[in-house]
Amino acid sequence: MGVLSGYKILNLSTNLPGPFAAARLRDYGAEVVKVEPPGGDAMQHLGAGWYEKLVANMAVCALDLKTESGIAEVHQLLCDTDLLLTASRPAALARLGLDWDTLHIAYPHLCQVAIVGYPPPDENKAGHDLTYQAAYGTLDPPAMPRVLVADLAGAERAVSEAMALLFARERSGDAGFSYVALSEAGRDFGDCIRYDVTVPGGILGGGLPNYRIYETRAGYLAVAALERHFFVRLMAALSLEEEETGALEAKFMERSANEWEDWGREQDLPLEAIH
């Protein structure tokens, strides 16, 4: 029994941000229905295992929203839905009669979170995680991103907005609408770079001897002894006096990354082999 037990969510989104947000709301106890086009969700082909995880314990139905019957079924679902989650461009939703102004009149109890690429007035501009990251400095070209930062950050923001809308409805009785722009989520997650925190050589970018990656006899080791008490204990446990990178580099070459990880657990120190 989660905090959203008894609430019903209708998810019309595909790909990653919307389904990820819907899965988080499901984990909070909400009953989620996911509507997919007849051809299915592209996530089934991009990452079948991930897709199955995201839709677990949900009702998934295929509806063609380009048909009158498909739209009619969506409206039937909306009758007892608390929150609608979308990730289509607003112009496309308006053509289907699923825009907020229309829905709010028909279903005054319904809240909506609309995931878009960019905030108004550019809410209909096309984009994807790669272009959002390109704009806000979280890429290291020519390498592709290892994490879909904007998509996942935006999904978590959508969860927060959903919670806020439902909470506000409980207090005031009024249903609300919120845009979540993936580009803005990507921008905020890029602040650690723009403020020089994680740039190469920055304070969390390898500039500190106690918070960086070290090569070992076999593999690489993440050392995160950021707090002073951790660093003091690390140096004492290694029998080192000079708090500088060179001494630690030489020391960590004495064992493998996995061995250092085991040693770190014994010493209650934040060390982790990079897998």
pLDDT tens readout for residues 91-137: 999 999 999 999 999 999 999 999 999 999 999 999 999 999 999 88
Q: How many CA atoms lie within 13 A of 264 on its CB side?
A: 20
pLDDT in tens, 59-91: 999 999 999 999 999 999 999 999 999 999 999
**What pLDDT, on a 0 to 100 scale, did the predictor assign at position 1?**
72
Look at residue 137 in the predicted model and tell me its pLDDT.
86
pLDDT tens-digit map of 6-19: 999 999 999 999 99
Give pTM, 2 decimals: 0.91
Q: Which residues contact 219 (CB under 8 A, 6 or more apart)?
A: 256, 257, 258, 273, 274
CA distance 43 to 8: 23
Which one-letter amino acid corresponds to residue 192?
C
Provide, for the chain, the percentages of residues in helix, strand and coil under a 3-state DSSP scheme, each rounded to the nearest 5.
45, 15, 40
pLDDT tens for 220-270 read 999 999 999 999 999 999 999 999 999 999 999 999 999 999 999 999 999
pLDDT at 213: 98
pLDDT for the residue numbered 64: 96
Residue 26 banded pLDDT, cuts 50, 70, 90: very high
Whole-number mean pLDDT of the chain?
A: 96
Query: Domain map of the chain by residue range?
Result: 8-192, 211-273
- Per-residue pLDDT at 35: 98
pLDDT tens-digit readout, 144-162: 999 999 999 999 999 999 9
Q: How far apart are CA 59 and CA 32, in angstroms?
A: 7
Torsion of CA 52, 55, 59, 62, to 10 degrees: -70
Is pLDDT at 177 greater than 90 in this prediction?
Answer: yes
Report, as an integer, the average pLDDT of 34-48. 94
Query: DSSP 3-state assignment of 201?
Result: coil
Paired tokens of 268: 């209650």
8-192 CATH fold: Rossmann fold (3.40.50)
